[in-house]
Amino acid sequence: MPEGTAGPPPVILISVDTLRADHLSCYGYARLRTPHIDSLARGGTLFTEISSQAPITLPSHVSLFTSTYPFANSVHENAQVLPPGAVTLATVLAAQGYKTAAIIGGYFLARRYGLAQGFQTYDSPFDSRAINGALDLKRPASQVLESAEHWIEQNSGRPFLLFIHLFDLHQPYDAPAAYRARAPESEYDQELAYVDDSLGSFFDFLARSALDRRALVVLFSDHGESLGDHGENTHGYFIYRSTLHVPLIFHWPQAGKNGNWKLETGNSPQVSSFQFPVSSSDYLARVEAPAGLIDVAPTVLSFLGIPSPPSFCGHSLLELAKSGDSPPRDVYSESSYAHDKFGWATLRSLRRGDYQYIDAPHPELYDLKRDPAELHNLLPGQASLAASYRERLTALAATYRSVPGAVGQTATVVAPGAAENLRALGYLEITSPHAALDDSGVDPKDRVFEYKRYLLAGHLARTGKAEEAAAEFQAILADDPHNLPAYIELARSDVALHRYLDGAKQLQAALALDPRNVEAEELLGDIWLAVGDLGRAAAEFRQLLAFAPQDYEAHFGLGLLAARRHQTSEAAGHFRAALAANPRSAEAHYQLGLILEAQNDKTGAVGEFQAALQIAPKFPEARRELDKLKSPNH
């Protein structure tokens, strides 16, 4: 569309991460009022039966923006990457001349994970911010929305897509103290009250800018939160309604006269050629038919009169929003969290009509109308109904497994230098070596006790209670000798307790289960280095480079070993490779500086020590070397 011409309505997508639909008063919650989100629902269409396709932040958002299923787009977990070349709602609208921006509130949507594709502005502090505590993984709603308002003020002269991500409801909780009284018994609800108020201010801003009438505003969540249901506290492990059932509200713009879109651009109001499909008042206030987040992007495009790209697997909800009925949909969801982490079974479900079927070694079938809490499994009684659901689920997976433009395999990545801190916070998952849709393995619901014990042990380890943590991990392994992450975590606790050789044994057991486990190899090499068994350390790091040629730990370790043998050019090569993997490693800059100093490259050495000090200003050894090189007597 030509520059400066008024066009179709702006689109504002608001993701309130981790928001259970049933905690909003517009969805019937009685213990807290959410008047501002309710007000959005009053002027729009509220979908009562929407399922997330995966109860994990990145996979859910990827599924929504690409309108593809996790099994097709390969993003099953946080810290995986949507590869370049994906077709997303943002890339489609950018190609249509929309200005596109995302204002990100939580770490798991950082730019490096690939969701930034198609966004000309991707405001995310998480790619440069140091992650030292769990609160560094989020920024408060007030800051995100302030940034959103600022962006709108600068950019509302043209049609735009603005994606706003609010991460406050994700643990750890940190609501302003003023909200404690609003929900004294639930920190989750305190955060929700805070988010609702923050959105209230933002909606006031939209009203002042007339955007409440001009923009299509869509509010949703990526997944819910278990809050203790089914023995789960957070989200990701199970696929019950507590984490799959999410709010979805479309607030339609108001049609101008003649159904044309009026956009006040600066001093010259213009009327665009955009035709509303129907008058906004034709949409229903509530739609109770089940659908999924995968349908959001096709709905937005169809509202704008833009055809969906062939890779989109969802279906527009517009007809449903007008008439309230359409043929029943099959709504698919999955979690491969327990599978990827522990080698247990992948959980997959199909919602159709009132029934929810969960495919697992011990399958489940629920009548959500009568039993929304999913407490009464209808199996084995309703076996033929369950079989028909299973058939539909299999057919859906077969239909959408490969779609045009779907992306290929993905790898787990974290920010250079962030891995250690994320692990320390319990956020970086050790994964087991299993194909993504392999259905073998035990049923996660039969292992929820072990899972909770694992979480507890991890918490003990992170809070400095290594002895207690080690005892818990040992108990887990006594029950389940195939729990690969438990071996690695036990080894970490052993290292913390200076029981290096015990740690090495655990890592050898882990590597027997998965010979290409990067984390186990790294840690094992570090242990041999720590106990002075240099030959074994070198062998372990070389082994690691054979399948992870850019691994930081391996290059750093081999650099240290070469330096000890005074093989300076080999050492320099490894430290440079380590820095290529992690440019923010002050330690690697320092070690490279020492090597360059030994090679009489004074300028190079000064540069490396300065780089080390820029990253870690209190690095006494680097300071000392730099002062030495700069002293006139040197």
Q: Under the rule (CB under 5 A), what is the footprint of Zn ion?
A: 17, 57, 222
Residue 358: helix, strand or coil by DSSP?
strand
CA dihedral 519, 521, 525, 526 (to 10 degrees): 10
DSSP H helix total and E strand total for the chain: 24, 15
Taking CB atoms, the residue at the shortest distance from Zn ion is: 57
Please report, as a single letter, which amino acid is at residue 489. E
Smallest gap from Cβ 55 to Zn ion, in A, equals: 8
Tokens found for residue 534: 């240099």
Smallest gap from Cβ 426 to Zn ion, in A, equals: 16
Q: Is the CB of 16 or the CB of 605 nearer to Zn ion?
A: 16
Residues 6+ apart with CB under 8 A from 618: none
Smallest gap from Cβ 19 to Zn ion, in A, equals: 9
From residue 394, alpha-carbon distances to 90, 398, 409, 609 in Å are: 30, 6, 21, 58
Smallest gap from Cβ 490 to Zn ion, in A, equals: 29
Q: Is the CB of 111 or the CB of 434 nearer to Zn ion?
A: 111
Q: Is the CB of 16 or the CB of 560 nearer to Zn ion?
A: 16
Q: What gap in Å lies between CA 264 and CA 286, rounded to an integer?
A: 31
Smallest gap from Cβ 619 to Zn ion, in A, equals: 36
Q: Which of 548, 557, 608, 554 is nearest to 583 (CA)?
A: 608
Q: Which of 290, 286, 339, 331 is nearest to 313 (CA)?
A: 331
Residue 287: helix, strand or coil by DSSP?
strand
Q: What gap in Å lies between CA 81 and CA 37, rounded to an integer?
A: 31
Residue 102: helix, strand or coil by DSSP?
strand
Q: What gap in Å lies between CA 44 and CA 388, rounded to an integer?
A: 35
Q: What gap in Å lies between CA 563 and CA 572, rounded to an integer?
A: 8
Residue 565: helix, strand or coil by DSSP?
coil
Smallest gap from Cβ 454 to Zn ion, in A, equals: 21
Tokens found for residue 210: 């007339």
Q: Is the CB of 57 or the CB of 100 nearer to Zn ion?
A: 57
User: CB-side exposure of 207: number of CA atoms within 13 Å?
Assistant: 10
Q: What gap in Å lies between CA 243 and CA 337, rounded to an integer?
A: 13
CA dihedral 233, 235, 236, 238 (to 10 degrees): 60
Q: Is the CB of 169 or the CB of 287 nearer to Zn ion?
A: 169
Please give the backbone phi and psi of residue 524, each rounded to the nearest 5 degrees, phi first. Answer: -65, -45
Q: Is the CB of 137 or the CB of 249 nearer to Zn ion?
A: 137
Q: Is the CB of 17 or the CB of 608 nearer to Zn ion?
A: 17
Q: Is the CB of 338 or the CB of 595 nearer to Zn ion?
A: 338
Pairing of strands 331-335, 291-292: unpaired
Residue 281: helix, strand or coil by DSSP?
helix
Q: Is the CB of 167 or the CB of 487 nearer to Zn ion?
A: 167
Tokens found for residue 345: 């079974």
Q: Is the CB of 17 or the CB of 521 nearer to Zn ion?
A: 17
In the block, tokens 């080999």 appear at 570
Q: Is the CB of 222 or the CB of 551 nearer to Zn ion?
A: 222
Smallest gap from Cβ 20 to Zn ion, in A, equals: 12
Smallest gap from Cβ 344 to Zn ion, in A, equals: 22
Smallest gap from Cβ 170 to Zn ion, in A, equals: 6
Smallest gap from Cβ 192 to Zn ion, in A, equals: 14
Q: Which of 339, 319, 337 is nearest to 329 (CA)?
A: 319
Smallest gap from Cβ 132 to Zn ion, in A, equals: 21
Q: What is the DSSP letter of 207?
A: H
Smallest gap from Cβ 66 to Zn ion, in A, equals: 16
Q: Is the CB of 20 or the CB of 574 nearer to Zn ion?
A: 20
